[in-house]
Amino acid sequence: MAKRKHVLPGFTLSLGYTILYLSLLVLIPLAATFAKTMELSFEQFWDIVTAPRVVASYKLTFGASLIGALINAVFGLLTAWVLVRYTFPGKKLIDALVDLPFALPTAVAGIALTAVYASNGWIGSLLEPHGIKVAFTPLGVVVALTFIGLPFVVRTVQPVLEDLEAEAEEAAASLGANRWQTFYKIILPAIWPALLTGFAVAFARAVGEYGSVIFIAGNMPMVSEITPLIIITKLEQYDYTGATAVAVVMLVISFLLLLAINGLQWWSAQRQIASR
The structure's pTM equals 0.85
Residue 242 lies in a domain: no
Rounded-to-integer distance, Cα 275 and Cα 168, Å: 17
Rounded-to-integer distance, Cα 124 and Cα 136, Å: 11
* CA-based nearest residue to 222, from 49, 51, 52: 52
% of the chain residues with pLDDT over 70: 93
Rounded-to-integer distance, Cα 251 and Cα 234, Å: 17
Q: Which domain holds residue 201?
A: 56-224
Residue 212 lies in a domain: yes
Number of domains into which the chain is organized = 1
- Inform me whether the pLDDT recorded for 138 exceeds 70: yes
Residue 28 lies in a domain: no
Could you tell me if 226 and 89 are in contact, meaning their C-beta atoms sit under 8 angstroms apart? no
Amino acid letter at 218? G
Residue 2 lies in a domain: no
Q: What is the mean pLDDT of residues 146-171?
A: 86
Query: What pLDDT is stored for residue 62 in this prediction?
Result: 93
**Would residue 225 be called left, alpha or beta, if left means φ above 0 and alpha means ψ between -120 and 50 degrees?**
beta
Q: What 3-state DSSP class applies to 121? A: coil
Residue 4 lies in a domain: no
Residue 66 lies in a domain: yes
Q: Alpha carbon 128 to chain centroid distance?
A: 29
Residue 145 lies in a domain: yes
pLDDT classification of 253: cutoffs 50, 70, 90: confident
Distances (CA, A) of 45 to 28, 31, 60, 228, 248: 21, 17, 21, 17, 10
Rounded-to-integer distance, Cα 110 and Cα 71, Å: 19
- Inform me whether the pLDDT recorded for 4 exceeds 80: no
Residue 158 lies in a domain: yes
Residue 144: other Cβ atoms inside 10 A:
29
CATH number for the domain including 186?
Answer: 1.10.3720.10
Query: What pLDDT is stored for residue 8 in this prediction?
Result: 61
Q: In the chain, which residue ranges form alpha helices assigned H by DSSP?
A: 11-22, 28-37, 42-49, 52-85, 91-98, 100-103, 106-117, 124-127, 138-163, 166-174, 179-182, 188-207, 211-217, 227-236, 240-275
Could you tell me if 183 and 102 are in contact, meaning their C-beta atoms sit under 8 angstroms apart? no
Q: What is the mean pLDDT of residues 37-57?
A: 92
| N-term to C-term CA, the chain | 39
- Inform me whether the pLDDT recorded for 178 exceeds 80: no
